Amino acid sequence: MEAYILHPFLHPKPSKPWFKTACSCTLHEKEFAYKWYLSLLSPEYHALYISARNHTKSILQFAKHSFINRKCQNLSNSNSQKHLQ
């Protein structure tokens, strides 16, 4: 049987420009699922925690990528406007 290695929760700073309300909500949901899993130590709650952890990871990645894409688009638009002048 594989041992489950606990990873500490690393919270991005809410002052980050890509950090939105959805990021905060999903982090709280993950922590809530983890606390339930620790209190009951059942396979069902472990599965719920893993699902919440994966969902949180995807939400954070989406928020970061969306922010970067918007910045790149803004830079691209500003550069093309300079060339037109």
For the chain, the structural domain boundaries read 21-84
8 has a pLDDT exceeding 60 = no
Q: Which tokens is 56 given?
A: 């949180």
Select the more confidently predicted residue: 66 or 82.
66
How far are the Cα atoms of 34, 52, 77 from residue 18, in angstroms, in the given order?
A: 25, 20, 20
pTM: 0.67
Q: With pLDDT > 90 as the criterion, what percentage of the chain qualifies?
A: 51
pLDDT value for 1: 39
Select the more confidently predicted residue: 57 or 14.
57
Could you give the maximum distance between any two Cα atoms of the chain, in Å?
67
Angle at 42 between CA 38 and CA 48, to 5 degrees: 80
Q: What is the DSSP string of 2-39?
A: PPPPP----PPPTTSTT--HHHHHHHHHHHHHHHHHHH
15 has a pLDDT exceeding 80 = no
